[in-house]
Structure 1
Amino acid sequence: MIRMENVTKVYGTGEAEVRALAGVNFTLENHEYCAIMGPSGSGKSTMMNMIGCLDRPTSGRYDLDGIDVTTLSESQLAAVRNRKIGFVFQQYHLLPQSSALDNVVLPMIYAGVEHGERCDRAAAALEKVGLGDRLHYRPNQLSGGQQQRVAIARAIVNHPIILLADEPTGALDSRTANEILDLFTELNQGGMTVILVTHEADVASRTRRIAWFKDGTVLYPDLTPDQIKEVALEPH
């Protein structure tokens, strides 16, 4: 599914140069449920941008689903993002004046899905995340957890092969966060590859594999949930 070989990302030049990723080697198989963790400045956000094809490596190779995405044009990269990756963020990024249904329809417009199919697929995605009775509610009529469910429905409506979530529970209370994590587990059990970027050990412990970053490299590529709390307490 994902194979990175000696991937680097450098920002700036000279004395202002920052090596956000410093020779990352990382592999992720189909249907895995993985968390990316690390202290502030470790490279995990840059790694998320790289996995999601939101940024390009300075050097190295990145194969996504058998495609060397480092060779693609910007329009080709945009098509890969739209077809293969669903994004979920901490702040939801919903259109405030649009209904839940219209927010979920949006990525299908960019994907060229026929008009008659869009509403059916959007309604099905909202039903899947438990909001079948909230199709016509606007974001300000929904709780934070419900807004995140709309964002998840939007992320999965194009049937991506990867669901990539950046601090998806950071704005939620613990009960609602657990409900969202239950939903990620359900999606993974249904066959979707799920990657969470998080700084919270309790969130990462809900996954089946944890990659710990430090100084732009993968210090521990394959921690188990039982190991993560020990590593999180190590000095960094």
Structure 2
Amino acid sequence: MNSVIETIMNHRSIRKFEEKLLTDEQIRTIVECAQAASTSSFIQAYSIIGIKDPVKKQKLSEIAGNQTYVAENGHFFIFCGDLHRHNVISQLEEKDLSTSLKSTEKFMVATIDAALAAQNAVLAAESLGLGACYIGGLRNNLDEVCEILNIPKFVIPLFGIAVGYPSQTPDKKPRLPFEHIYHEEGYQQDEGLFKQGLATYNETISEYYTQRTKGKRTDTWTGQMANMLENPKRMYMKEFVKKQGFNQE
């Protein structure tokens, strides 16, 4: 096993950091590694906003559900799907690009490009001895996030990543069974095997939580997912996405 695979396999979310800021060199390295990620048709439909200002970090922390590690970290990155520059291109090249820019396909491209870049950024950070945690809670109130960050049309903040020097070493969460993730030649739909795999995984997750919390939590993965999905969240998202110019065609 090489060092890259070891870094990938050792991933865990870090939610507590030392009071030490990243250097400009570290920030630049992480962003340049993000830019090295694959991008659909060379569109590069994303932008990254770095937050150093503690006041802004605090405001974003409150939006994200008062998650302290949004405010207390070495640096906070926000990954955005971005077709704003492509809207500018329509003016520079004097071509009507509106149908493409408003399409569901280009919305997916922007989202996927941002996610690919973000995973490269996290891997780069972890290879430097840093820790990271993805923050989807920014989507609790994207109107306010856009106001704080001065976001233009055709840009949508998707998630944040808190990065810093870890001051904790949490246990690694067990992932779904390999057979649930990897299918050969087509999607395997044997429901009996599917439920059997989930039952086995539930036992693994329940044991993980029992050990991690000394018996305070024993929940299963399917129970956790059912409880979460039973109460829909952020149902304003469809209209917000359209308001920003995306996903209209």
TM value normalised by structure 1: 0.32
Which has more radius of gyration? 2
Q: More strand per residue: 1 or 2?
A: 1
TM value normalised by structure 2: 0.31
